[in-house]
């Protein structure tokens, strides 16, 4: 049970990070935090139910999270080369 609470807390930290921070790298880290939170709850629930499904899922999710992080970092590098900064406030050319 404690682990579920922990994962919820981490998830909320991730959401807060996405909503409040302006640095793209930190926002990306917050997204990863949210994914890790679900990994924790998968493992915790796996222990609770006594089957290994959840733990197998975690391995797959690791890979997905890494792919997402890689693509995100690549996009951020592209943006940095364009504008010389990773502040999200700079990227609002499109109509709000």
Partner 1 sequence: MLSYVPVLILFIFALLLGGAFVFLSYFLGRPKKTTTKLNPYECGVEQATLPRIPVNIKFFAVALMFLLFDVEVALLYPWAAYFKSMVSEGLGTFVLIEGLIFIGILFVALVYIFRTGILHWENGK
Partner 2 sequence: MNILIQSLPLLIMPAVAAFILLIGAMWRRISGESLLIMAVAGLVAALFFGWQGFLAGTASFPADIIFDKIFYLTVIIIAIALALAMLVSYNYLAERKLPWPEYLALLLFAGFGAGLMAAGTDFIVLFIGLETISIAAYVLAGYTRDGSSKEASIKYFLMGAFASAVLLFGIAFFYGATGSVLLSAAPINKLLMVLALALIISGAAFKVAAFPFQWWTPDVYEGSPLPVTAFFATAVKAAAFIMLFRIVAGISGGLGLKFESLLIALSVATMTFGNLAALFQENIKRMLAYSSIAHAGYMLIAFVVLGKDANLAGAALLFYILAYIVMSMGAFGVLIYLSGGEKEFCNMPDVAGLGRRSPWLAAVFGLFLLSLAGFPPTAGFVAKFYLFKSAMAHGYVLLVIAAVINSLISVYYYMRPVVAMYFGEFQQERSLPKIRYSVAGVLIFCAIFVIILGLAPATILAILSH
- Chain residues in the site for partner 1 (CB under 8 A): 56, 59-60, 62-63, 66-67, 69-70, 73-74, 77, 81
How many Å is the maximal CA-CA distance in the chain?
Answer: 51
Please write down the long-range contacts of 25-28, taking CB distance under 8 Å and 24 or more positions apart.
25/76, 25/86, 27/88, 28/69, 28/72, 28/73, 28/76
- Given partner 2, partner 1, none, residue 79, with its beta carbon under 5 to 8 Å by kind, binds partner 2
How much is the CA Rg of the chain, to the nearest whole Å? 16
Cβ 82 to partner 2 shortest distance, Å: 6
* Binding-site size, partner 2 (CB under 8 A): 45
Instruction: Write down how long the chain is.
Output: 96
62 binds partner 2 (CB under 8 A): no
Q: Token digits for 74?
A: 């690549």
| E strand map for 1-96 | none
Residue numbers at the binding site for partner 2 (CB under 8 A): 4, 7, 11, 14, 18, 24, 27-28, 31, 34-35, 37-39, 41-42, 44-46, 48-49, 51, 53-54, 57, 60-61, 64, 67-68, 71-72, 74-76, 78-79, 82-83, 91-96
């Amino acid at each position: 049970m404690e682990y579920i609470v922990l994962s919820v807390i981490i998830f909320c930290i991730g959401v807060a990070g996405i909503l409040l921070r302006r640095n793209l790298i930190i926002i990306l880290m917050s997204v990863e935090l949210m994914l890790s939170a679900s990994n924790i709850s998968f493992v915790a629930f796996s222990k609770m139910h006594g089957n290994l499904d959840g733990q197998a899922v975690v391995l797959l999710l690791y890979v997905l999270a890494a792919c997402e992080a890689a693509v995100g970092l690549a996009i951020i590098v592209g943006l940095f080369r364009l504008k010389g900064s990773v502040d999200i406030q700079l990227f609002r050319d499109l109509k709000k």
